[in-house]
Amino acid sequence: MNQQDFRFNELKNELYEDRIYVSEKWTANFGKLSQYADFEAYNSCIREAFNMVDYVMGNTLYRFRTKTTPLEVVTLKGKGKNGRELKGYIYQGIDEVINYSEAYNFFGKAMLLRKLGFPIPEGLEQVRELRNFTIHNTMTIVGKVSDQLLSYEQVIETLRILGETLHVLGLLRKQDILPEYETMRVKPGDVIGRSKEYRVDSFVAEGGMSRVYSGMHTRLDRRVAIKEMKPYTYSPEQIRNEKQFLVQLEHPEIPQIYDIFDQNGTYYIVMDYIDGVGLGRYVEEKDPDMEERLAISIQICRVLRYIHQDCGMIYADLKPDNIMIDQSGRVFIIDFGISQLAGSNVEADAYSWFYSSPEQMHGYAMDQRTDIYSMGSLLQFLFYYNGEDGVIHCTDQLGDYREEMENLCNICKQQDPNDRFQAISEVEVHLRRIMKEMKEQPKQKKKRRRLYISLSIVGILLLTALGILYYFNGVYPPGDIYMMGKETIESTPRGVRICFSLINRGDDIRVNDVLPWNMLLEIKTKDGSIYHVVVPLKLEEGLESGEILEDQVYIVPWEEIVYDGKQVISDASEVERIGGGVDRKDPNDLE
């Protein structure tokens, strides 16, 4: 051993005589452990705890031997490993002769400390096999006994015994033997993660189930949000499902998930940091107009549609606190802490009562209609006010659409899921139509348009639901395809780019199927010529019956822009203006 190694080992021994150092190191090591941790984390945690106790016991024996004068030194039978005679030490008040050579291993040190009068816990011998297991951790041993020896409960009991050993040796407070979650929670400046790649910068917010911090992904040099879940909020099975679900989320209005890991007795989710405010604060501070509130609602429906249709999941926690608006006005849904497969259930105290459906509050199985109920509550938050009669009414700023919005919310919030809208796309279609009509009608000449439904005292809610669904079928009758919103057309180097949205109320459509729509183009070239061209519209992705296809982009190459059988445009540089739209017209009907 060279001098540098000797000084390093000596320094470690000195550090393990410092109570503050030992306490902090013990708590940090304990942070590796959680009910969600894997075998490697358990093994590492126990091995480190054994090493700490080994150092402290060795230091305690060294300190006693160098600072306590024996009454007598005697020669013992036999020889030591170095061939020298064995010495025994007799101390006042100690009945046995102390042979320090017995402290050649971990359990020898424990036995000798008991002879010196230290109340070392008897349970220390009970974990001898686990000590050997962590030292001789071969794949053969792991395969045979890891499940039996390294359960969460077994590891906790082992750490309790080791922690009590540190306590009786004066290096650990009793309350720190099994540290509480609040002791281990992260603080600004901490670096966490499997590879210590996430730096915690500042506290952001706290809810009933988690705390959120801003931080940095040091490897990617990217700002992130670090969500620290409060322990025992979820079962290990839910955590496994959560990991599988969250890592597959890919949507522009859902923060990207970078990592999910367990540490400090709980688990953390690291995701994109959204530089914005919650919906509640945004509404309070900005007081957005009705069109912006509708736009926010439509974006929320769009994300829910992705979660329902593409992921086969339910969000299950829709409320203003979980909706963020960034500096550009973009809407994000955050906090997927209790999202799950449809048909499962979660404890009722995980929810917010106003936004939670009856089946949530009673702990029953849920499906996508649960989110539809919450969407109705969110619409009430955005468009309602408390009337003088004590009844919640829709705001007058909606004008002709006030009563329709009230009926829309009533259907979303039916107690029986069968009486609600059955898909979030149905809610989205209504909101899009209201948005479109509000934009198209001049404010000073808005045509009054109300939905009158005959109500009876018996079955009032059911008739309301049927009335709205009937109106929906009137706007978009089954059996056909309908364009939604306004199409955009522009010139690009590749050709004419058209962006459109549609709802399929007919049969399934395959990729590249020709739609019953044509694209009507009016192209003016820089030499003053004007061409009217009709191009059949196709889909570049499939569309099932009942689905909404939003912002579909279809590019018609310049070589396909033909007038009177001839290609009239060779590239975008020849185009001065381009316009048009889509319609159900046949080319033969054009003049």
Dihedral angle computed from the Cα positions of residues 340, 342, 343 and 346, in that order, rounded to the nearest 10 degrees? 30
C-alpha closest to that of 413 among 446, 466, 373: 373
Measured at the alpha carbon of residue 511, what is the angle toward residues 509 and 514, in degrees to the nearest 5? Answer: 65
Amino acid at 392: I
Give the Å distances, CA to CA, from 155 to 32, 128, 129, 487: 11, 13, 13, 62
**Residue 265: per-residue pLDDT:** 73
Task: Please state the φ and ψ torsions of residue 523, each to the nearest 5 degrees.
Answer: -115, 125
Q: Report the run of H or E that residue 46 belongs to, with start and end.
A: helix 39-67
**Residue 501: per-residue pLDDT:** 76
Give the Å distances, CA to CA, from 319 to 32, 52, 435: 33, 47, 22
**Residue 232: per-residue pLDDT:** 63
Which portions of the chain are predicted below pLDDT 50? 1-8, 138-148, 338, 341-351, 390, 443-460, 587-591
Q: Are 345 and 365 in contact (CB under 8 A)?
A: yes
**166-204, pLDDT tens digit by residue?**
999 999 998 888 887 677 788 899 898 888 899 999 998
C-alpha closest to that of 293 among 307, 308, 282, 277: 282
Residue 310's contacts (CB-CB under 8 Å, 6 or more residues apart) are none
Task: Look up the pTM and report it.
Answer: 0.55
Distance CA 125, CA 566 (A): 93
Instruction: Express the helix, strand and coil content of the chain in percent, nearest 5 each.
Output: 40, 25, 35
**Residue 486: per-residue pLDDT:** 60
Indicate the DSSP class of residue 526.
Answer: T
**Residue 385: per-residue pLDDT:** 66
Give the Å distances, CA to CA, from 70 to 74, 191, 222, 466, 472: 10, 48, 62, 96, 97
Residue 69's contacts (CB-CB under 8 Å, 6 or more residues apart) are none
**Residue 591: per-residue pLDDT:** 37
C-alpha closest to that of 419 among 506, 330, 358, 491: 358
- Token pair 């994000």: residue: 332
